[in-house]
Amino acid sequence: MDYPTIDKPPIEQFRVRPNLDDYAKVRSSFVYADVIKELDGLPGGALNIAYEAIDRHLVHGRGNHLCWDWEGKDGSREQYSYADAARMSNQFANVLGRLGVRKGERVFVFMDRVPELYAAVFGTLKAGCITGPLFSAFGPDAAGDRLADAGACVLVTSSEQRRKVREMRPNLPALQHIIIADHGREDSIEDGEMSWDDLMREASTEYQIVHTSPEDPAVMHYTSGTTGKSKGAVHVHQAVLGHYATGKYVLDLHADDIYWCTADPGWVTGTSYGMFAPHTNGVTSVIYEGGFSASKWYEIIQQHQVSVWYTAPTAIRLLMKAGGDLPKKYDLSSLRYMMSVGEPLNPEAVVWGEKHLGMPFHDNWWQTETGSIMVANYPILPIKPGSMGWPMPGIEAAVVDHEGKPAPAGEEGDLALRPGWPSMFRTYWNNEPMYQSKFANGWYITGDRGRIDDDGYFWFIGRADDVINTAGHLVGPFEVESALIEHPAVAEAGVIGKPDPVAMEVVKAFVTLKDGFEPSDRLRGELLQFSRKKLGAGVAPREIDFIDVLPKTRSGKIMRRLLKARELGLPEGNTDTLEE
Phi, psi at residue 173, to the nearest 5°? -65, -25
Strands 258-261, 217-223: pairing is unpaired
- Residue 554 pLDDT grade (very low, low, confident, very high; cuts 50, 70, 90): low
Phi, psi at residue 71, to the nearest 5°? -125, 130
pLDDT for the residue numbered 559 = 86
Structure letter (DSSP) for residue 273: I
Contact of 130 with 219, CB cutoff 8 Å: yes
Phi, psi at residue 182, to the nearest 5°? -110, 85
Number of helices (H) and strands (E) in the chain: give both, helices first: 18, 27
pLDDT for the residue numbered 471 = 86
Which H/E stretch holds residue 536? none
Q: Residue 233: name the closest of 546, 506, 444, 522 by CA.
A: 444
Q: What is the mean pLDDT of residues 542-568?
A: 86
Show the DSSP H helices in 286-381 as ranges: 294-304, 313-322, 347-356
pLDDT for the residue numbered 386 = 93
Q: What is the mean pLDDT of residues 473-486?
A: 87
Q: What is the Cα–Cα distance from 16 to 259, expressed in whole angstroms?
A: 14
* Burial classification of residue 215, based on how many CB atoms lie within 10 Å of its CB (0-12 exposed, 13-18 middle, 19 or more buried): exposed
pLDDT for the residue numbered 461 = 87
Structure letter (DSSP) for residue 553: B
Name beta bridge partners: 462: 449
Name beta bridge partners: 211: none
Q: What is the Cα–Cα distance from 56 to 506, expressed in whole angstroms?
A: 43
pLDDT for the residue numbered 523 = 97
> Tens digits of per-residue pLDDT, 216-239?
999 999 998 767 788 999 999 999
Q: What is the mean pLDDT of residues 439-462?
A: 95
Q: Which residue has the higher pLDDT, 530 or 226?
A: 530
Cα angle, residue 427 at apex, residues 425 and 429 outer, rounded to 5°:
120
The 3-class SS string of 122-153 reads HHHHHCCCEEEEECCCCCHHHHHHHHHHHCCC
Structure letter (DSSP) for residue 559: -
pLDDT for the residue numbered 520 = 96
Q: What is the Cα–Cα distance from 485 to 182, expressed in whole angstroms?
A: 35
SS3 497: strand
Q: What is the Cα–Cα distance from 41 to 35, expressed in whole angstroms?
A: 11
Contact of 352 with 323, CB cutoff 8 Å: no
> Tens digits of per-residue pLDDT, 413-429?
999 999 999 999 999 99
- Residue 492 pLDDT grade (very low, low, confident, very high; cuts 50, 70, 90): confident
Contact of 394 with 372, CB cutoff 8 Å: no
> Tens digits of per-residue pLDDT, 144-198?
999 999 999 999 999 999 999 999 999 999 999 999 999 999 989 999 999 999 9
Q: Which residue has the higher pLDDT, 390 or 224?
A: 390
What domains can you pick out in the chain, each with its CATH number? 11-449 (3.40.50.12780), 468-568 (3.30.300.30)
Structure letter (DSSP) for residue 4: P
Instruction: List, in order, residues 6 or more apart from 473 with CB less than 8 Å away.
Output: 135, 267, 342, 538, 539
pLDDT at position 335 over 70: yes
Q: Residue 523: name the closest of 542, 540, 544 by CA.
A: 544
Lowest mean pLDDT among 229-238, 469-478, 491-500: 469-478
As a whole-number percent, the residues of the chain with pLDDT over 90 amount to 86
SS3 552: strand
Q: What is the mean pLDDT of residues 308-331?
A: 95
Helix axes 294-304, 313-322, angle to 10 degrees: 100
Q: What is the mean pLDDT of residues 246-255?
A: 98
pLDDT for the residue numbered 556 = 65
pLDDT for the residue numbered 575 = 63
On average, the pLDDT of the chain sits at 94
Max mean pLDDT among 81-95, 502-516, 530-544, 563-577 falls in 81-95
